[in-house]
Amino acid sequence: MREVAIAGFGKTPFGAFAGQDICSLAVTATRKCMENGHIQPSQVDAFYLGNFAGPSFTGQNHLAPYVAGEAGITGVPCTRFEAACASSGAAFFHAWSAVAAGVYDTVLVTGVEKMTSQTTPKVAEILAGAGDMSGEMLAGATFPALFAMIAHRHMHEFGTTREQMAAVAVKNHANGALNPDAHLRKVITIEQALNGKPVSSPLTVFDCSLVSDGAASVLLMPLDRARNFTDKPIRVRGVAQTSDHVALDKKETITTFPAVRAAAEKAYRMSGVTAADIDFAEVHDCFTIAEIIAIEDLGFVSKGAGGPFSAAGHTALRGSKPVNTSGGLKSKGHPVGATGVAQLCDLVLQMRGEAGARQLERTRLGLAQNLGGSGATCVVTILEAA
């Protein structure tokens, strides 16, 4: 297997963009990535697109060649990957596999979603398709309801408090306020987070990620080849994709996600590092409780300690283990098909020293955790500044 590196990246701002369709968003990120990686469309060997529900949100199918063609990329394999909110994480994993195996030398991975073209109730209905339609959704449960149950159980088992979940929201909003590409650049207080509009008890609107439009793209090459295109290649030290049951009632417990733990274990083993070695991370905070569980399942803290660890400020920008310096899904935004690759873009931004007011001092090893549904898919990637 060859060593693989990210040689370029590009992304759009995240937000609500009435004047941009799904193709224009994806093409913008793709072109930025090619420019950043100093390549031409003719140099791309394959194009992988991460997208969860473009056909449902916009009516457009056959999205991979549609986007690639508009970006000037033709005559190569163009494939769309769907794995709920981990769609572009899955696309990245398979792109890495192809480059590492020597099938291709240059692969572009773009993630995109255009969500705001539908009403909020319709968006919730479309997103619910990533859950168990024959059980959970038939009973009327949407993802806020499912993660509310997860939060209640975590509170019951470990004493996690609403104040600790609110601390996650406050921290991510503070980081997002410093991110010029974030959807909601708004600083909030603990009191605001606790007293936000109820969504599904105990979750308020400040515990829930945003409905966003946006796209992100990365360029993968063998590490030795990448050095010919950039003086700041970012090595893919480890990456793993795993799965679990879709329905919550099929899981032994709902306060941990086996797919996350398995993906993290594989990525750590491939990388030859441990959780303690990770300098910073972008994790999948679709809800504040999801970030708390993520830092536990990734091994940053022991089970049940995620809430107190967060409330104590350890995951803050200047904490011992910074998490979601981008603002996370909570503030940066969550165009679901774009999220996985966007997390990688944010790691690269930090590792290249280009994060501006959010710049960290220690950025040698960064980790991204991309979750699909209520833990049915997970991709964990570990990057190293090469």
At residue 82, the pLDDT reads: 98
For residues 346 and 340, the answer to whether their CB atoms sit within 8 Å is no
Report whether pLDDT(89) > 90.
Answer: yes
User: Which residues share a beta bridge with 236?
Assistant: 383
Q: Which fold has domain 4-119+212-234?
A: Peroxisomal Thiolase; Chain A, domain 1 (3.40.47)
| Planar angle of CA 376, 259, 269, nearest 5 degrees | 150
Burial class of residue 384 in the structure, from the number of CB atoms within 10 Å of its CB (0-12 exposed, 13-18 middle, 19+ buried): buried
What would the two tokens of residue 168 be?
């996650």
For range 229-241, the mean pLDDT: 97
**Global pTM?**
0.97
Tens digits of per-residue pLDDT, 120-164? 999 999 999 999 999 998 898 999 999 999 999 999 999 999 999
In the chain, where the domains are located:
4-119+212-234, 126-205+236-385
Contacts of 194 (CB under 8 A, 6+ apart): 162, 163, 166, 204
Q: For domain 126-205+236-385, give the fold.
A: Peroxisomal Thiolase; Chain A, domain 1 (3.40.47)
Q: What is the pLDDT of residues 290-335, one digit of tens each?
A: 999 999 999 999 999 999 999 999 999 999 999 999 999 999 999 9
> 71 and 186 in contact (C-beta within 8 Å)?
no
pLDDT, position 209 = 97
The residues annotated as belonging to the active site are 85, 334
Taking the C-alpha atoms of residue 242 and residue 260, their distance in angstroms, rounded to an integer, is 8
Name beta bridge partners: 83. Answer: 85
